[in-house]
A and B are shown apart, each in its own frame.
Chain A
Amino acid sequence: MRGPRTLSSPARIASYVIVTIFTLFAAYPILRVRAISLRPGDRLLDKSLAVIPPDATLNTYVRLFLEEPFLRWLGNSIIVSAAVTLFGVALAATAGYGFSRYKFRGRDTAMIGLITTQMFPLTMLLLPLFIVLIKLKAYDSYFALIIAYSATALPFIVWQMKGYYDTIPYSLEEAAAIDGCSQIGIFWRIVLPLAAPALVITALFSFMTAWSEYLVAAVLIQDQNLFTLPLGLKMFQSNMEVSWGLYSAGAVVVSIPVVALFLFLSRWLVSGLTLGSVKG
């Protein structure tokens, strides 16, 4: 007997055709950017649709790294993203644990407050922050960006860490307590190592928030020496006639590590969500 997942031949062919069309749709813009980044400088405005230009060259990449302030933007982005990640993981790991394991005054209010922040339009926090930062003269600094990004990332990652701690059996902690482990020791030596997968996701999420953010940076940073990657690439892009190649090369360099990491983790993405739905 045929299993329910088996397809008849016409349905199989139709499925392949459909999936292939959508895969091309998903991959084309990426192929396109890569093709443009490989073009020689004098042929940027060519109307060719070739996926690999006939006279492909890496010149644009060399120019990007040596003649443009790309490395400076990369450095700025790394400093800000690393700070937000450290900050985010430390705060979410502790706060999530508190919310998961203790009942205390104000707990429910705080939890609902965390969800509510997800409905804030960006401008509702950015506008007041912008004015406060101007008054503190902290405008145009790493500090401004780190504060703003932490504010956007924190509610979600605290919530997520709490959800993961909820799945760790409490009996483990009781056993450790009977063996004479202190409460802090239980958290540090028993629970935290078990929560490693969630910590990785939290770190990834905090990092991505800071690494890929444009709109907040565009408001808080004017000094070109402090430009992060998104601001730099946008500058190339708005000057398309001249810098289309530079933009494309930059886009490829910035995307590769993120995309690789994401695809590497995608296996867990599917299985993680499956687990959730079985229980739900």
Chain B
Amino acid sequence: MAVGIGERRDNRLAYVYTMPALMIMALVIVYPFIYNIILSLSNMNLTHFRDWRLIGPGNFWTVLTDTTMNLKLLGIEVPDFWYFFVKTILWTVINVFFHVTIGVFLAIILNKDLKGKTFFRTLLILPWAVPQYITALTWRGMFNSEYGAISIILDRFLGLQVPWLTTEWGAFTACLITNIWLGFPFMMIIALGGLQSIPDELYEAADIDGASWYQKLKNITIPLLKPVMIPAITLGIIWTFNNFNVVWLVSNGGEPSDKTHILVSWVYKVGFTYFRTGYAAAFSMIIFAILLVFSWNFIKRTQATQAVY
């Protein structure tokens, strides 16, 4: 009988192996994390950079109620936090929805016996392979109102002039399109892996019973893809919520007038452009709390549903 992992006697070696990495991480992750908590309780900003002091949890309240930016949702003025919170939710939901739908859809097609599917698969992975900042900067160029390819195509063939980068929701849509472009290949590859592991016999049996393609999709493909897709979707949600490469670079740091932000990009701007350090630290803590609560619940709930299958 094999000895199980961890039943070795000499545990001192475990520390030899893990200590270097854990010490580095304590230095560059744990220490900044604790420092961030202290900053979030301080009044550090551009005018109090050296002579800062602790002022208690006031920053957290300020974050949730601050209306410095005079932002409006559906005509109603809302605090900055809630405006960007709504945009972040929209950003995450729309992105992940399209990533998964397009990804699974293409995977289903690529899983059939099409000629040249390796060729198509390789080209379809391209958006994943290109460095994100290059994707974002390139799409920003393509959205340029005069010389951008998208504007030229829309104008020439449809006579449309869309103010992509100069309006509140135009810029947001531009960011969305860019991020959908770069995100679907990941879901496609995950789904393709899942599909290849579904045995053909299941479909053959369904064919004998005279099942329609929709019944097969609903009763075989989707349930059997679920255990593969759920972890990928969880990761996708966390990444999308936190990833502001595209938002930042396509909107050139939040243009027009700091409206095109998600929560994280807004904190980045507040922290490093306006130097409201204490405020930004508290803001980061709130974002982290949101993600932690979400992930905890999501993982618990999906584990419960997975047990059904």
Residues of A within 8 A of B (CB): 3-7, 12, 15-16, 18-20, 22-23, 25-30, 32-33, 36, 45-47, 49, 90-92, 94-95, 97-104, 107, 110, 116-132, 147-148, 150-151, 154-155, 158, 166, 169-171, 174, 183-184, 187, 208, 211-215, 219, 230, 233-234, 237-238, 240, 244, 247-248, 251, 254-255, 258-259, 262-263, 266, 269-270, 272-274, 276-278, 280
Residues of B within 8 A of A (CB): 2-8, 10-11, 13-18, 20-22, 24-25, 28-29, 31-33, 35-36, 39, 102, 105-106, 109-114, 120-135, 137-142, 144, 146-147, 149, 152-153, 181, 185, 189-190, 192-194, 196-197, 200, 203-204, 207, 227-228, 238, 242, 244-245, 248-249, 252, 263-264, 267-268, 271-272, 277, 280-281, 283-285, 287-288, 291-292, 295
23 contacts between A and B (CB under 8 A): A4-B203, A4-B207, A15-B114, A26-B185, A29-B139, A33-B134, A33-B141, A45-B147, A98-B13, A98-B15, A98-B18, A102-B17, A123-B268, A125-B32, A151-B29, A170-B4, A212-B134, A215-B245, A219-B272, A230-B133, A247-B141, A259-B129, A263-B122
Cα separation A158 to B29 with both chains bound (whole Å): 14
- Identify which of A7, A132, A158, A170 contacts B113 (C-beta below 8 A): A7
Q: Is the CB of A119 within 8 A of B238?
A: yes
Given contacts A101-B6, A125-B29, A233-B133, contact A270 B193 (CB under 8 A): yes
- Identify which of B10, B14, B133 contacts A234 (C-beta below 8 A): B133
Cα separation A13 to B197 with both chains bound (whole Å): 26
Residues on A with beta carbons closer than 8 Å to the beta carbon of B181: 25-26, 29
Q: Is the CB of B21 within 8 A of A128?
A: no
Q: Is the CB of A262 within 8 A of B128?
A: yes
Looking at chain A's contact residues, the main secondary structure is helix
Residues on B with beta carbons closer than 8 Å to the beta carbon of A169: 2
